[in-house]
Amino acid sequence: MWWNRIVLLVATGLAAAAVFAAEPAGFKVVVHGANTMTEIDVEHLSRIYLKQTASWPDGSEAMPVDMAPDTDLRKKFSKAVHGRKVAAIKSYWQRQIFSGKGIPPMEFNSEEDLLFLISVTPGAVGYVSDSTLLISGVRELRVRD
């Protein structure tokens, strides 16, 4: 029957989601050391990066910063957080810029430069490779599904 197919599709989708969630992300999200958040859900993080949300839950300003679009790190982040490829996010920002609705987050070519900016900018949020050592003034923010 048709409903058996729906149940099978839903079960397959749930299994795929469980496998995806179990895979390591390859990056960690980092914030300024004074940020009071200890965790954030992936949907809220995506809204911050798309500048659909301008503040943290405590009301302080959120300032997302990105890696350069051609980096593997950016590709991993975009897929895991936005569920889209970098090209789709770039297209989103082109539409936002053209319509005068906003500008994309600042982009960095090096994780070191990104970490330095976050260390001196309250409200800043970024991401670095899992293996990157954090500097003073920066801490990891746990991301939940």
pLDDT in tens, 37-91: 999 999 999 999 999 999 998 889 999 999 999 999 999 999 999 999 999 999 9
For the chain, strand residue ranges (E) read 27-32, 39-41, 63-67, 106-108, 124-129, 138-144
Q: What span, in angstroms and rounded, lies between the C-alpha atoms of 81 and 28?
A: 11
Q: Are 26 and 73 in contact (CB under 8 A)?
A: yes
> Domains (ranges, CATH) in the chain?
26-144 (3.40.190.10)
